[in-house]
Amino acid sequence: MKKVLIMIGAGIETIPAITKAKEMGIHVVATDLNPDAPGFAHADEAVIGCVYTPEKTVAALKKWAEKGVKPNGVMCVAVDAPHTVAAVAKMFGLRAVSTETAALATDKLAMKDCFKAKGIPIPWYSQISSGSELKEIFLERQETLVIKPVDSRGARGVLQLEYNLENMPDYDWAFNYSQNESPTNRVMVESYLDGPQVSTEGFVVGGKSYTPGFSDRNYEFLDKFAPHIIENGGQLPSFLPYDIQMAVKDLSGKAAIALGISHGVAKGDMVVHNGKPYVIEMAARLSGGYFCSHEIPWNTGVDFVGIAIRLAIGETPNPEEMIPFYQKGVAQRYLFPSEGIVTAIDGVDEAQEIEGIEMVEIRTEVGAVIPPTTNHPARAGVIIGVANTREEAVSAVEKAVNCIKITTEKS
């Protein structure tokens, strides 16, 4: 009899995990609030349930289970819903992230409190309750700050406020902007630590961490989109020295374990400041942006999603399966057209023909409306290149980006 896997979320970036599980001979039940979620077309069954509301998903799956089917695992990919995974796992008696760990992973303030208590290096931080309190902290610390919602996702509501006496920010606007993206109306502020930022992704198995995923994050448009912090992709392998990479991986694993992850996946947002790694945030889920499903396998040869699926259904992979087999060059870039109505999309075929380009995904169409760019999940497309070296991959993907022209007109 086939094993049954519940996939929380059925968005476009979850499709590779759904298809991977099916290739492994697993029966996939996908849940999503959107009845037209693209992942439903690839799953064996579809269940309507809100990804971010655990009780609604649990209720929907209870009804689904009335036919006598018991799942073997539950997971989420490219959707920040470990709390829903934890609730479903608890209901069915499955091995997954705990309710307590999921709560820490989806509450940035509680996460930072946990890290501080356990000695994990993090930026200075504080909860704030008003624009005036933000102003007091800003003037007291006299440094660049990051303001963010305590419990949002995808850089929504996140702002970088530069300390500049000649051009001080609108504190009330900044606070209200972040608060509007918080389901609980909570806002926090933290020090901006300059230095290379890194995305890590790995596993914790039997209390030991493995981190095959390691990508230098690309922020070339910080000035263009300021004060919004917009990531524009990344590249692998890292340019950082080997000893720094090992220190980042070690800290990423320690942070995952500090959150209570003992048998599962962990995604880290890290920064190397003055030669020392710090944790910005840690997620108890698989990443979006095709990092886990495409970039890590192309870069390292590690079947990342396949291993994560096996962990979710109760299996234990061998350590050697989670260690990179090689280091090939991979580069990714996002497309952020000017706001307005799309009138033309050109150059896609030419971009696809460039040597090394493995993915050109356009997420808009003529007649669609491009909103202002305020967070990186709002990207209109994704391009990924693969080559023998990092430099060759970056060159290929930048050529592809230059080929594609998404023309917009203001409405």
Summarised one tens digit per residue, pLDDT across range 318-364 is 999 999 999 999 999 999 999 999 999 999 999 999 999 999 999 99
334: which residues sit within 8 A by CB, 6+ positions away?
A: 231, 232, 233, 289, 376, 379, 381, 382, 383
CA distance 165 to 158: 21
- CATH classification for the domain delimited by 328-411, as one of 3.90.1150.10, 3.30.70.1520, 3.40.718.10, 3.30.470.20: 3.30.470.20
Give the confidence band of 180 by pLDDT, cuts at 50, 70, 90. Answer: very high
At 354, list the tokens.
Answer: 């460039």
pLDDT of residue 35: 97
4-96 is classed in which CATH architecture? 3-Layer(aba) Sandwich (3.40)
List the alpha helices (DSSP H) in 198-274.
222-225, 242-258
The two most distant CA atoms of the chain are separated, in Å, by 69
334, 379 Cβ separation under 8 angstroms:
yes
pLDDT of residue 222: 85
What are the C-alpha distances in Å from 3 to residues 17, 74, 308? 15, 11, 15
- At 233, the amino acid letter reads G
Give the confidence band of 168 by pLDDT, cuts at 50, 70, 90. Answer: confident
328-411 has the same fold as 193-326: yes
Question: For the chain, what are the domain ranges?
Answer: 4-96, 124-191, 193-326, 328-411
CA distance 273 to 49: 41
CA distance 51 to 45: 16
Of residues 400, 276, 273, 287, the one with CA closest to residue 348: 400
Rounded to 5 degrees, what are φ and ψ at 212? -75, -25
**Does an H or E element contain 102, and which?**
helix 99-105
pLDDT in tens, 106-152: 999 999 999 999 999 999 999 999 999 999 999 999 999 999 999 98
What is the model's pTM?
0.95
On average, the pLDDT of the chain sits at: 96
CA distance 210 to 266: 10
Tokens 């930048």: give the residue. 398
Segment 200-207 mean pLDDT: 95
- Helix, strand, or coil here: 344? strand
Percent of the chain having pLDDT more than 70? 100
**pLDDT at residue 377 is higher than 80:** no
CATH topology of domain 124-191: Dna Ligase; domain 1 (3.30.1490)
CA distance 218 to 150: 24
Of residues 307, 281, 382, the one with CA closest to residue 13: 382
For 193-326, CATH gives: 3.30.470.20
Give the confidence band of 163 by pLDDT, cuts at 50, 70, 90. Answer: confident
Tokens 């289970």: give the residue. 65
Cis ω for the linkage preceding 337 (within 30 of 0)? no
Q: Are strands 369-370 and 159-161 parallel, antiparallel or unpaired?
A: unpaired
pLDDT of residue 193: 97
